[in-house]
Structure 1
Amino acid sequence: MSTHLNKSSTNYIYCYTCIIKRALFSITGKLSDLLQSEQLNYAAAATCIEATKITLVNLRTESEWQLIWDTAVQLAESNDVTVSTISTSRQRRVPFLLSHSVIEETTGGRADINQYRTSVYYATIDSLLGELNSRFSETNISLLQSLHCLVPSSPSFLHVPSLLPFLNHYDINVVYHS
Structure 2
Amino acid sequence: MSLSLRVFSSALCGMFVFLFVGGPLAADDSKGIAKNPMIKNLVGEWEAKGELTGPDGSTYTITEQWTGAVVSENTLAIEGKREINGGQSDFKWTIILNADTGVYEATHVIDNNQTQRFEGSFSEETHTMELISPLDGGGTMKLVRVFTSEDYNTFDTEVTFTNEKGEVTIRGKLVSKRVKKS
For this structure pair, what is the TM-score category when the shorter chain's length is used for normalisation? under 0.3
TM-score, structure 2 normalization: 0.19
TM-score, structure 1 normalization: 0.20
More strand by share: 2
Larger Rg: 1
More helix by share: 1
